[in-house]
Amino acid sequence: MPGATTWLPHPTVPAPEPEPRPRDAVAAAIGNASLLSIGYLLLGRRLLALLTLLGTAVLVSVVVAVPSVWLEVAVLVWWAAMTWHGWHLGSGRAGSVVRRHRRVALAVAVPVLLVFGLVRFDAARLEGNVTEARQQGDCARAETELAKVWFGHRVADAPMTLRTDRTVDACRRLREASGRLDAALAEGDTDALGEGFRGLGVVLAALPGHDRMADVALDRFLDGLPTEDACRTSSLTDWLKARKPTGDGRDRAATAVPRVAPAALLGCGDVRMAARDFRVAQQRYQQLLDDHPGHELTGKAQEGVTKARLAAELAHVRNLHGGYCSRPAAYSGAPEFRRGAVNRAVVWGNRQHVDKLPGDWLTHDVGEAVLVVCTGQTEFGAPTQTCPYRSTRSGQVGSVTFRKIAIPVKAYELRTGKVVVETRVEIGGTSCPGTFFASGDGPPPNRYVSPSDGDVRAGYAAVIAP
């Protein structure tokens, strides 16, 4: 149209292309080598950085929780894979160098790797010290070194901490076992001794490599033998002697028995003798003779057996008192019964007129006696004389027969417990006194004679001095 203006479209100016993010393969590889996913952050891969960081955390947690060489290899593979992947993602522009990124990557990776290397080196040093202590059997030193293990060691060298944890467990078990062995030494408790040996056995069987530590614990127990109490020591050596071999280091404990047991058995026998426990004393002396024939102490043990046996026999006889007459027993330490000599006697039963016997014929201590004389009830013996008597009360006249005093007697030789005299002792005396007292209206038909000391002596002479 005339006079019209023509409008043309405004030419479109293309928007400038965004400048690509600089990618430095070296910086990405170094950043990822820290295992903190720094390389991915430098490349702008935030989500990938977060996911891989979580993966690293999980893997490290598993390694710490379940120490294993294979898991440590897995961490190494993960580290190599992340380093390579950072390099791979950063190589889109070959030859790109981003110095700022490299400085950041180096600032993070170098300290991490340096700390890792130092901690691992320290872990190796600690393990070396623990190994040396283990070889020396020194649990105290090993535990001092193991107290220095911290979380960093478990991250940097998890298998090392697994090995050292075994030493921690071994020392704990050995400490408990040593406590039970100490209790056995202090109290003579064989149950505690058994528990201690079982504790040593667990370490030897389940925690190999700690044999020397177990040996030291066992040596400490064996060095405590003998204890100051001989009977306590003999109880422990009895247990060691009866223990069945197990084919490990504990078996050498049996070597302490011949070294310690003889003197302990003899000493225990002496202690029990002093306590008047003659049965146990004899058992201990006899055990020394049976278990250690030819030992230099067997002579004293044989003397002890004899002394204990005699003491037990004498104690038994003394405890019988008058019951001896119904249950006679031997005391083989008593003198032998001899005819034609005075055999000193202890009299049980009817002691009428016994006090008229000579003092050297009698004793109240059965341990000094040759005979045990058991006397029965007094009876009328043979008649000696008959005389007439009139009762002053009723005037009745009657004859009274005077008879000897008869006493049934059974005499045992104390040495053998056998009867050597069984008789009826008859004691004579004077008859027909001018008067005598009697109950009743008339005189009694029978009456005992009145013995003198000589009469009593003559009557018992057939028993005590035959």
pLDDT score of 78: 72
pTM: 0.70
Q: Which residue has the higher pLDDT, 436 or 191?
A: 191
**DSSP H/E element including 410:** strand 397-413
Which has the minimum average pLDDT: 227-231, 286-290, 395-399?
395-399
**Cα–Cα distance measured from residue 156 to residue 119, given in angstroms and rounded to the nearest whole number:** 6
pLDDT score of 86: 76
Question: Quick one: average pLDDT of 304-322?
Answer: 93
Structure token digits, residue 364: 């109240």
pLDDT over threshold 70, residue 13: no
**Cα–Cα distance measured from residue 455 to residue 435, given in angstroms and rounded to the nearest whole number:** 21
pLDDT over threshold 80, residue 157: no
Question: Quick one: average pLDDT of 419-434?
Answer: 93
> Is the C-alpha dihedral spanning 64, 69, 72, 74 positive or negative?
negative
- Characterize 394-424 residue by residue with b for buried, 16 or more Cβ atoms within 10 angstroms of its Cβ, and e for exposed: eeeeeebbbbbbbbbbbbbbbbbbeebbeee
Query: Within a 10 A sphere around the Cβ of 237, how many other Cβ atoms?
Result: 24
The torsion angle over the Cα atoms of residues 307, 310, 312 and 314, rounded to 10 degrees, is -130
pLDDT score of 19: 52
What is the residue whose two structure tokens read 């009657």?
Answer: 398
* Tens-digit pLDDT profile for residues 383-393: 999 999 888 77
**Cα–Cα distance measured from residue 248 to residue 201, given in angstroms and rounded to the nearest whole number:** 8
pLDDT score of 1: 44
CA atoms within a 13 Å half-sphere pointing along the CA-CB vector of 207? 24
**Cα–Cα distance measured from residue 224 to residue 256, given in angstroms and rounded to the nearest whole number:** 11
- The CA R_g of the chain, rounded to the nearest whole Å, is 53
pLDDT confidence band for 303 (50 / 70 / 90): very high
> Is the C-alpha dihedral spanning 453, 455, 457, 460 positive or negative?
negative
* Tens-digit pLDDT profile for residues 314-347: 999 999 988 999 999 999 999 999 998 999 999 9
pLDDT score of 319: 92
> Measuring CA to CA, how many Å separate 103 from each of 27, 42, 100, 212, 279?
8, 11, 5, 52, 92
* Tens-digit pLDDT profile for residues 199-213: 999 999 988 888 999
Q: Which residue has the higher pLDDT, 81 or 258?
A: 258
pLDDT over threshold 70, residue 14: no
Cis peptide before 226, with omega less than 30 degrees from 0? yes
Q: Report which listed range, 39-53, 71-85, 87-101, 408-422, is most confident.
A: 408-422
Partners of 157 in the β-ladder: none
Using a pLDDT cut of 90, give the percent of the chain over it. 55
pLDDT over threshold 90, residue 44: no
pLDDT over threshold 60, residue 93: no
- Transcribe 220-258 into DSSP letters: HHHHT-S-S-HHHHHHHHHHHHHPPP-SSGGGGGGGHHH
Are 441 and 463 in contact, with CB atoms under 8 Å apart? no
pLDDT score of 107: 72
Question: Quick one: average pLDDT of 13-35?
Answer: 66
Are 240 and 220 in contact, with CB atoms under 8 Å apart? no
* Tens-digit pLDDT profile for residues 239-267: 999 999 999 999 999 999 999 999 999 99
> In terms of residues, how long is the chain?
466
- Transcribe 340-365 into DSSP letters: TS---EEEEE--TTGGGS-GGGB-S-
Instruction: Identify the CA nearest to 103 among candidates 19, 26, 44, 49.
Output: 26
* Tens-digit pLDDT profile for residues 279-292: 999 999 999 999 99
**Cα–Cα distance measured from residue 324 to residue 377, given in angstroms and rounded to the nearest whole number:** 17
Q: Largest Cα–Cα distance in the chain?
A: 210
Mean model confidence pLDDT for the chain: 85
Instruction: Identify the CA nearest to 353 among candidates 420, 404, 317, 411.
Output: 404
Q: Which residue has the higher pLDDT, 349 or 15?
A: 349
**Cα–Cα distance measured from residue 316 to residue 324, given in angstroms and rounded to the nearest whole number:** 10
The one-character DSSP state at 82 is H
Instruction: Identify the CA nearest to 411 among candidates 376, 377, 373, 361.
Output: 373
**Cα–Cα distance measured from residue 313 to residue 277, given in angstroms and rounded to the nearest whole number:** 12
**What SS3 state is found at 436?**
coil
* Tens-digit pLDDT profile for residues 106-148: 777 777 777 766 766 766 777 776 778 788 888 888 767 667 7
pLDDT over threshold 80, residue 94: no
Are 463 and 371 in contact, with CB atoms under 8 Å apart? yes
